[in-house]
């Protein structure tokens, strides 16, 4: 059995030539088109990676700011400072040493307030007031009591204005 010599006919030669040229042009078109698509995909990928990197950095910054704010908020919630002042210290004839001892004794009685939540202190401000007013402080044989005139709770500080009275 023998294959007929069709390769000598012009029509078959044109068919094979067209087939080979079509294959070459198709392959070149495919490579060209694939190259453009691949290049576009790479560019899009790099842009997205850059955007993701920026967003991750921004998220880290925001998380750090959030942690700092939470830490500051937690610190502000607790009582850090207790300031006691006497409203009538000039009217009452008491020495500076006695005033200092009175202030020290009252601060010692209120030491448990430091470090507690401000909300708790606000809720129990009546108890705080009664605790201070029920104190009788004896200095050099004389008894003194105080009356709460002003009570300010500002952020994490408590300011207490007291009137000094001689104990009965």
Using one digit for the tens of pLDDT, what is the confidence trace for 129-153? 998 888 888 888 888 889 999 999 8
Mean pLDDT value across residues 60-79: 84
4's enclosing H/E stretch is none
- pTM of the predicted protein model: 0.56
Name the token pair of 30: 């495919």
* CA–CA gap between residue 88 and residue 162 (Å, rounded): 8
Asked if 81 and 153 touch (Cβ cutoff 8 Å), the reply is no
For residue 21, name the pLDDT band (cuts at 50, 70, 90).
very high
Q: How far is C-alpha 87 from the geometric centre of its chain's CA atoms?
A: 40
- How much of the chain, in percent, has pLDDT values that exceed 70? 95
Q: What pLDDT, on a 0 to 100 scale, did the predictor assign at position 23? A: 96
Ramachandran assignment for 155, one of left (phi > 0), alpha (psi -120 to 50 degrees), beta (any other): left
């Amino acid at each position: 059995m023998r294959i007929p010599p069709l390769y000598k006919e012009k029509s078959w030669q044109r068919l094979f030539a067209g087939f080979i040229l079509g294959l070459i042009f198709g392959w070149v078109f495919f490579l060209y088109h694939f190259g453009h698509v691949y290049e576009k995909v790479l560019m899009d990928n790099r842009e997205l990676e850059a955007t993701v990197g920026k967003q991750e950095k921004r998220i880290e910054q925001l998380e750090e700011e959030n942690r700092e704010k939470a830490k500051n908020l937690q610190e502000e919630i607790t009582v850090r400072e207790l300031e006691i002042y006497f409203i009538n210290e000039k009217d009452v004839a008491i020495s500076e040493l006695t005033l200092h001892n009175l202030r020290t004794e009252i601060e010692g009685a209120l030491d448990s307030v430091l470090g507690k939540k401000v909300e708790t202190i606000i809720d129990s401000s009546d108890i705080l007031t009664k605790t201070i007013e029920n104190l009788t402080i004896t200095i050099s044989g004389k008894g003194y009591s105080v009356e709460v005139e002003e009570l300010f709770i500002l952020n994490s500080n408590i300011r207490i204005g007291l009137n000094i009275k001689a104990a009965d």
